[in-house]
Copies of this chain bind each other. A is one copy, B any other.
Amino acid sequence: MKLTSHMIVLVTLALTCSANAWETLPTTAGPTAEPASQEMIELGKQLFFDPRLSLTGTVSCNTCHNLMEGGDDGRETSMGIHGRTGPRNAPTVWNSVFQGSQFWDGRAATLEEQAQGPIVAAPEMGMPDHNHALQRIAKIPGYQASFQSVFGSENALTLENAVNAIAAFERTLITPHSDFDRYLDGEEHAMNAQQIAGMGRFESVGCTECHDGPALNGWQPGDVESVFQEFPRSMDSGLVDRYQLAADLGRFAVTQAESDKHLFKVPTLRNILLTAPYFHHGRVSTIHEAIDVMAQTQLDTELSGAEIAEIAAFFAALDGRFPELPLPRLPSRAGESVIDEPEVLDE
């Protein structure tokens, strides 16, 4: 018997999706080999919020992954230095620890690896190379002292240590205790009737084939890889053209494997109402359109307006409780400019 690509998808689904679609979000990232110290997390938080990591001193990690809102930037695609824009929509950094890989195409295996990317991406923080960023940070005595204190060596200010600190901070960015979590924990009034109906609809239509597990992204604790799915699965829908869904080849650009064409990481649905616009390219403005697109292109189902509204209501129950974060104090270089490089580079 020859396996068709459609059959492979189904087999993959059977292997990767858990039996129980509904799971509460863990309240911590769980034990790691080397648990991070509070001091390391604080350093990572400073770096996360520090725009001096960008060539022009204007773009921090938080610019595109705004922790004051949905952990994204609310734009179709992000805007970095000099008003440059990239090709994809910024995924939320909230609960990103509950993913088996990072970026829409999973090209970074870990949060540490992910954190390296934007620093040197021309349309993001735009540093010509990582050394440039490290030399910038090294001008600031407070960072020198923190890196030495956290990592305990003379030459502690390295890219590896910097991204380790950023990732340690990101592992704390968890939003548990949503209405959905409290409902699963037995608080039956935590969700209203429409939301409970939407939860049932979400499962019966088939969304949980991929959007299951604690982050509703197919990931399970211990998974070292993310779940990838073809999107759009059906090219027949008129929505494919309307929203330009087929232009981006997704994971294919990473692996060059034919079978990875149009594969994207299944995104978490936690806090999904806070991260419009939607999909890898941000071309879908509303959650109602997004639900419609998913049902038609992925599940060959046309939902009524009422059914879409039910599922959207369920999504409101996925808004988590955000930890209170004190604004970090960023260390200064006393009485001396830090941003003193040419701002436009030959490319």
Name A's B-contacting residues (CB within 8 A). Answer: 49-52, 56-58, 63, 66-70, 73-76, 79, 81-84, 272-274, 276-277, 285-288, 312, 315-316, 322, 324-330, 332-340
Contact = CB atoms under 8 A, between A and B. Distances in A.
A280 B325 CA distance: 34
A286 B337 CA distance: 6
Tell me which of A63, A75, A316 has the highest count of chain B C-beta atoms within 10 A of its own C-beta: A75
Nearest to A50: B68
Contacts of A63: 51, 58
B68 A336 contact: no
Contact of A51 (B66, B326, B337): B66
A337 B51 CA distance: 25
B322 A335 contact: no
Contacts of A75: 56-58, 339
A61 to B, nearest CB: 13
Contact of A52 (B74, B276, B332, B335): B74
Given A285-B336, A335-B276, A330 B58 contact: no
Give the number of times this chain occurs in the complex, counting copies. 2
A315 B328 CA distance: 23
Chain A interface mostly: loop
A67 B322 CA distance: 21
A230 to B, nearest CB: 25
A315 B330 contact: no
Contacts of A322: 329
Contact of A285 (B49, B273, B286, B340): B340
B334 A316 contact: yes
The 4 closest A-B pairs by CB, nearest first: A287-B335, A82-B83, A285-B337, A277-B337
A58 B79 contact: yes
A330 B52 CA distance: 23
Nearest to A335: B287
Contacts of A49: 68
Contact of A326 (B58, B276, B324): B324
Given A75-B339, A286-B336, A335-B273, A327 B330 contact: no
Contacts of A83: 56, 81-84
A292 to B, nearest CB: 12
Contacts of A84: 83
Nearest to A277: B337
Nearest to A316: B334
